[in-house]
Amino acid sequence: MYKLLNYQREEKHTDLYSEKLAKSMHLAIQKENKPFEALNQNFGILFAKAYEAENEVLHPKQLVNSWLLNTKDDQFVVVAVRVNPDGSSDEISKGSILVFESKNLLQYTELPLLKLSDQTIVDLTANYDASIDQYVINWQETDGSCYQVTVADFTSEVDLTNKKAIDQLPLEDFTEFTTEIEGVIPRNTIEISDELGDYLVKKLTTPVNIEINLPESIEVSSLEQLNAVKATAVYSDGTTATKKIDWFADQVDFDQPGEYEVKGKVHQDHYPFPIAWDRADPCIGKWNGKYYFIATNDADGNNSLYIREANSIPELVTAQEIRILDTQQYPEFKSLLWAPEFHIVNDRFYIFHAGSSNGFVEQACQVMALKEGGNPLIREDWEKPKMVIKMDGTPLVEAGKGITLDMTVIPNKGRYFASWSQRPLQPHDLGAWICFAEINPDEPWKLISDVITIAKPDYGWDNNHTPVVEGPYPLIHDGKIFLTISGAAVDSTYVVGLLTADVDADLLDPASWVKTNYPLLTLNDVDGEYGPGHNAYVTDDNGDVWNTYHARPGLNEPRSSGIRRVHFDIDGYPVLALTEEKDLNPDLTIVTATIKIK
């Protein structure tokens, strides 16, 4: 059996692990009395949702003093106290507690607030009592008084006539508890099955390469055939990935049948971070056999867009930059050329980006098409950008009342959809949302459906420092559409979150999109990379998927671009924190095989 520790964290400097992040439920796991190991890189796993007022303004909330318990049907419930981001009492939920249900401690369903008192609750515990087939809830109020009530479940109104006073909360004793996990404020422990424990470790720790396997029999008749032989990299979670091999075959005579012992080096493209300084929101596209790189240009205040062209992704790192758009070119785009992306729609090559005629408050999504037969490196071969418009021909947001940016394209089953970040500014600044609509494939700057909202910055990790979700980009894999999004301020605490939908779902139904409660990539994941976010994906000629993203090489360093291979976990979900050393163990890269020349 595994033991699971539910804990809260002490906050650090606001640029490292702020109060909004610390006030969440964290999990650590232990097997066979070994030290507890933090899951999810010691980042919160369960966050309280923000309260949305009638005017749609989000009021961020956090959870404290969480308590994790097993249910009678082998599932889980979390109860907690909801507070304001600064830790003060939340008057909206006064006398009530947060309740979450979970089947696997990864996905959580937040139930309606459970009313227990007319007074402010500051702490609580809960457990299932099999002898009475009831759940026992204990809580403490601000004056120190403690009470207990029993309930059949957590979804019905509590009968407070059976409330009774108790001397103190039955808290777990952690006086002898020691751990090296940074900032731990322990709450309680539970036992879980080996099966669930193994699953959580595989899902909430980054896998590492532990083995390289070669085919048992290699029969070839040419160097080309030998070069087509792939190795299989095996990872600690049981997943695999195929790898090219650079064979040392100079001594092999492919005209002479026989057996040869040949060494080789498992191939890995090398991308030291950063690959481009002062370049944010990077994107790589492929068009007519060439690869192209584009990004927001922070070096000149976002006043120009440059692209690079190469025959392979590694060659893009040193390829020459060519300017193809700037804020002097058209009077409609005087400032802030943001978040460019390459997309192919109906066999035409486009750059989707944002631009403004008057600073931040008029930033809007644009689409720029490559002329028929045009060369992407030639500035004049790009048509003038067109502003994205709704079905009625009006802008996505009226100028001055809100901004739109970060538009991406999602092709699915012969249709094309767009997703973007939209921030209403009038009459209230509502923070940035993720919106979604279908577009006309012949004129992709025109929507052909109503606009829906599929995500808001309602968790502590995406309203940290500022309430923003932005930068959507699709990754379609194994029957699912993974739409990664970025959240919070574009500083050291910027993170990558995840929305998921099935490819067969109605993508224009907001209910088809599931938002993961915790982020996929944070500053805790890779040393020396602060605020990773605004990413995009590209698949190379070998079928490997690469994640382009920006992060900061230091707390106060500029946003700069990086590239890292995307791995897929045991459920087919993307893993974005697999560094080169974890992706391919340097001690395993030299391989030996016996090959037979036919």
Range of the domain at 111: 2-204
pLDDT at residue 400, as a whole number: 87
Residue 84 CA neighbour count, 13 Å, CB half: 8
Are the C-beta atoms of 327 and 300 separated by less than 8 Å? no
How many whole angstroms separate alpha carbon 261 and alpha carbon 64?
A: 61
Question: What are the φ/ψ torsions at residue 193 (nearest 5 degrees)?
Answer: -70, 160
Residue 389 three-state SS: strand
- Residue 329 maps to a domain: yes
Q: Do 242 and 358 fall within a single domain?
A: no
Q: Do 420 and 499 fall within a single domain?
A: yes
Are the C-beta atoms of 521 and 496 separated by less than 8 Å? yes
Are the C-beta atoms of 143 and 119 separated by less than 8 Å? yes
pLDDT at residue 451, as a whole number: 98
Tell me the pTM.
0.96
Q: Do 398 and 471 fall within a single domain?
A: yes
Q: What amino acid occupies position 460?
A: G
- Residue 567 maps to a domain: no
Are the C-beta atoms of 248 and 264 separated by less than 8 Å? yes
Q: Do 404 and 314 fall within a single domain?
A: no
Residue 23 three-state SS: coil
pLDDT at residue 97, as a whole number: 98
- The encoded tokens of residue 372 equal 């028929």
Please report which helix (H) or strand (E) contains residue 582, including its range: helix 580-583
Kind of pairing, strands 514-515 and 495-502? antiparallel
Q: Do 213 and 312 fall within a single domain?
A: no
How many whole angstroms separate alpha carbon 115 and alpha carbon 247?
A: 68
Q: Do 143 and 194 fall within a single domain?
A: yes
Q: Do 411 and 477 fall within a single domain?
A: yes
Residue ending a domain, among 188, 204, 220, is 204
Q: Do 126 and 157 fall within a single domain?
A: yes
Kind of pairing, strands 386-387 and 364-369? antiparallel
- Residue 576 maps to a domain: no
How many domains is the chain built from?
Answer: 4
pLDDT at residue 333, as a whole number: 86
Q: What amino acid occupies position 240?
A: T
Residue of 412, 388, 366, 376 lying closest to 513 (CA atoms): 412
Residue ending a domain, among 361, 387, 413, is 387
Sign of CA dihedral 521, 526, 528, 534: negative
Are the C-beta atoms of 356 and 334 separated by less than 8 Å? yes
In the DSSP assignment, the letter for residue 207 is -
- Count the Cβ atoms, other than its own, within 10 Å of residue 199: 18
- Residue 435 maps to a domain: yes
- Residue 71 maps to a domain: yes
- Residue 492 maps to a domain: yes
Four-point Cα dihedral 34, 40, 42, 47, nearest 10: -130
pLDDT at residue 380, as a whole number: 97
Q: Do 379 and 465 fall within a single domain?
A: no
- The encoded tokens of residue 369 equal 């098409």
Residue 43 three-state SS: coil
- Residue 549 maps to a domain: no
The residues pairing with 250 across neighbouring beta strands, listed in sequence order, are none
- Grouped pLDDT means (10 residues each) for the chain, 598 residues: 96 94 98 94 97 93 97 96 95 97 96 96 97 97 97 92 94 93 97 97 98 94 94 98 95 90 95 97 98 98 97 97 96 92 98 93 96 97 98 94 97 98 94 97 98 98 96 98 97 97 98 97 97 98 96 96 98 97 97 93
Residue of 176, 167, 246, 242 lying closest to 209 (CA atoms): 242
Residue 269 CA neighbour count, 13 Å, CB half: 20
Q: Which residues contact 403 (CB under 8 A, 6 or more apart)?
A: 354, 360, 361, 362, 363, 364, 397, 422, 423, 425
pLDDT in tens, 217-253: 899 999 999 999 999 999 999 999 999 999 999 988 8
- Diameter of the chain measured on Cα atoms: 92
Residue ending a domain, among 337, 358, 387, is 387
Residue 134 CA neighbour count, 13 Å, CB half: 12
Q: Do 328 and 233 fall within a single domain?
A: no
Are the C-beta atoms of 248 and 258 separated by less than 8 Å? no
Give 245-251 contacts, CB < 8 A, sequence gap 24+. 245/591, 247/223, 249/223
pLDDT at residue 591, as a whole number: 96
- Residue 275 maps to a domain: no
Are the C-beta atoms of 46 and 108 separated by less than 8 Å? yes
Are the C-beta atoms of 47 and 9 separated by less than 8 Å? no
Domain harbouring 428, CATH code: 2.115.10.20
The structure tokens 């030998």 sit at 226
Q: Do 419 and 448 fall within a single domain?
A: yes
Q: Rounded to 5 degrees, what angle do the CA atoms 215, 271, 544 make?
A: 40
How many whole angstroms separate alpha carbon 535 and alpha carbon 486?
A: 8
Q: Do 257 and 298 fall within a single domain?
A: no
How many whole angstroms separate alpha carbon 317 and alpha carbon 436?
A: 33
